[in-house]
Structure 1
Amino acid sequence: MEDHAKNLLAAMRNVKYDFTLLLGPQQEHLQCHRVVLEASSDWFRQALEKLPPDIIILPIPNVTLKPMKNILNFLYTGELKNLRTDNLQSTMTAALYLKIEGLFFQTHKNKPDDTVIITRKELESMQENIATDTKDEVECMEDKVECIEDKAECMEEDIVMENETLKS
């Protein structure tokens, strides 16, 4: 049964696409099948049920082309092969935003022992870590600015003291 479903989805890639996603701020086009989107997540089901059946375009400004290509590859094949680490975070963030569960991220070797299952909870945790890391970086920069300001203030005081010494 599982092979049948996989074969069916693989065959769909050879059938004319009936839907277009407009992705990111540049509104890049990505074609797919509406039924695959509807079957993949609550986010797509809710978004698509609001559209009249004759509308064949859905803008998604918060998701860019590369992550969505990775997600569609997963939806059609059940796996993500050769996903580069520089693309992993954006793909998982997009998957979380679109409420796509059960993604299997495989390393370049594509061996079963190299497979990592990423759950929704782990995706949310990763997003929280990114937010925390960003906050920490901002705080670190603020500390550096404060340190520089303190040094500048000390230098000004030294200059004032030198000027007073020279006047005396």
Structure 2
Amino acid sequence: MSDLTAQSRKSYREISAFTMAGEQQQFFLKWNDFQSNMVSSFKHLRDEKSFTDVTLACDGQTCKAHKMVLSACSPYFKSLLEENPSKHPIIILKDVAYSHLQAILEFMYAGEVNVSQDQLPAFLKTADRLKVKGLAEAPGAIKREG
């Protein structure tokens, strides 16, 4: 095995070789912890405010975020950002509690969030208005632990 292949094995952890008729051998490289690394990287970029390109405002406060994350997690934001191209837009969210916005961004970047029981109905209503994937689809399907 070449040095390159051995080096790649360390980074990607899974390499499969296959040969199609009459072609050179091909290598399939897979980064096994890709999803967890991306979640961690996006969260880090948000925490550091690195490369943020949109500002969300509500309740007189602001949060910085990434258009790509907002667009991937919400058709509402995707449509809004596509229809109003700007280098660094400021989106003012009417009737959105700042605590809900923070929780929604946490959900978008990490895929999970904790919300208190008394805030849950209003939070889900806000998430539904903003069409947040994973929250807007089935608000009635709340997993209860206890």
Give the TM-score normalised by the residue count of structure 1.
Answer: 0.56
3-state SS, counterpart of residue 139 of structure 2: helix
C-alpha displacement of 1:90 = 1.7
Residues in 2 aligned to 1:84 and 1:98: alpha-carbon distance in whole angstroms: 20
Instruction: Tell whether 2:96 aligns with 1:63.
Output: yes
Q: What TM-score do you get using the length of structure 2 for normalisation?
A: 0.63
Higher strand share: 2
User: C-alpha distance in 2, partners of 1:29/1:7?
Assistant: 23
Q: Could you say which residue in structure 1 is the equivalent of 2:74?
A: 41
CA distance in 2 between partners of 1:9 and 1:84 (Å) = 25
SS, match of residue 57 in structure 2: strand
If you compute each CA radius of gyration, which structure gives the higher value, 1 or 2?
1
2:122 aligned residue (90, 102, 111): 90
In the alignment, structure 2 segments of 5+ residues that lack a partner are 1-33, 142-146
Residues 21-73 of structure 1, C-alpha deviation per residue, up to 9 Å, x if partnerless?
A: 122xx443222222211111110011111223234201111322111110000
Q: Provide the aligned length of Structure 1 versus Structure 2.
A: 107
The unaligned stretches of length 5 or more in structure 1 are 104-118, 126-168
Matching residue of 2:132: 100
Q: Is the 8 A contact 2:124 2:139 kept in 1?
A: no
Residue of structure 1 aligned with 2:55, choices 16, 20, 24? 20
CA distance in 2, matches of 1:45, 1:99: 10
Task: Say if 1:27 and 1:61, in contact at 8 Å, map to a contact too.
Answer: no
Maintained 8 Å contact 1:27/1:59: no
Runs of 4+ in 1 over 6 A off after TM superposition: none
108, 120, 143: which one pairs with 2:137?
120
Give the whole-Å Cα distance in 2 for the aligned partners of 1:52 and 1:97.
Answer: 22
SS in 1 for 2:101: helix
**SS in structure 2 opposite 1:21?**
strand
Residue pair 1:20, 1:29 contacting (<8 A) in 2 also: yes
Considering fraction of residues, name the structure with more helix: 1
